[in-house]
Amino acid sequence: MSDIHETMKSQSALLIRRAEEKDIPAITSIYNEAVLNTAATFHLEPVTREERAMWLARHDAVRPVLVAETDGVISGWGSLSRWNPKQAYDGTVELSVYVDRQARGAGIGKALMEELINRGRGKLHTIISLITEGNEVSMKLHRQLGFEQTGIIREAGFKFDQFLDVTVWQLML
């Protein structure tokens, strides 16, 4: 698929497209809500728009950031990011998906994941996801899309006054 490929999904005009600089405020807002209210990310402090702009600039056609627009409003985003800077890991990426609190449960996360997986096929070898233990919704979605749980990192992070385990999920492309 090309970098400018846009996918229309049924329901209320869901459009998935490559993220642009103009999307940084929405991406940052969605992410910071997760930082403050969930264990989906182990950031403890909100990130700035400048930090997200630098993060976006590190992505490319092979490791894209996509946004989901619902009726013209960014309702979620997903990315394939470099797993490790060492060259031997170039075919391995980490998947991240975040959906606006008000849009959760509408299939946006799944649509983003499907598009990211499709874009990775033929270009990458494997996709890894790290899911905080107890996030059953995310685990179920990963299973549906063919990911397998390949490990667990015990007490990997400390957030909300507790140590949290992280499960490792992998999809071979």
Q: Over 60: is that where the pLDDT of 108 sits?
A: yes
Residue 86 falls within a domain, yes or no? yes
Any idea what DSSP says for residue 133? Answer: T
Q: What is the pLDDT of residues 1-60, one digit of tens each?
A: 444 334 434 446 899 999 999 999 999 999 999 999 999 999 999 999 999 999 999 999
Residue 43 falls within a domain, yes or no? yes
Do 52 and 28 form a contact (C-beta atoms < 8 A)? yes
Residue 99 falls within a domain, yes or no? yes
CATH number at residue 67: 3.40.630.30
Please state the pTM of the whole predicted model: 0.90
What value does the mean pLDDT take over residues 131-141? 96
Structural domain of residue 71, as residue ranges? 7-125
* 107, two tokens: 């299939």
Residue 42 falls within a domain, yes or no? yes
Residue 24 falls within a domain, yes or no? yes
Residue 38 falls within a domain, yes or no? yes
Residue 136 falls within a domain, yes or no? no
Residue 145 falls within a domain, yes or no? no
Do 142 and 167 form a contact (C-beta atoms < 8 A)? no
- Tell how strand 148-159 and strand 162-172 pair up: antiparallel
What value does the mean pLDDT take over residues 134-163? 97
What is the structure's pLDDT at 9?
40
Residues 6+ apart with CB under 8 A from 42: 156, 157, 159, 164
| Structural domains counted in the chain | 1
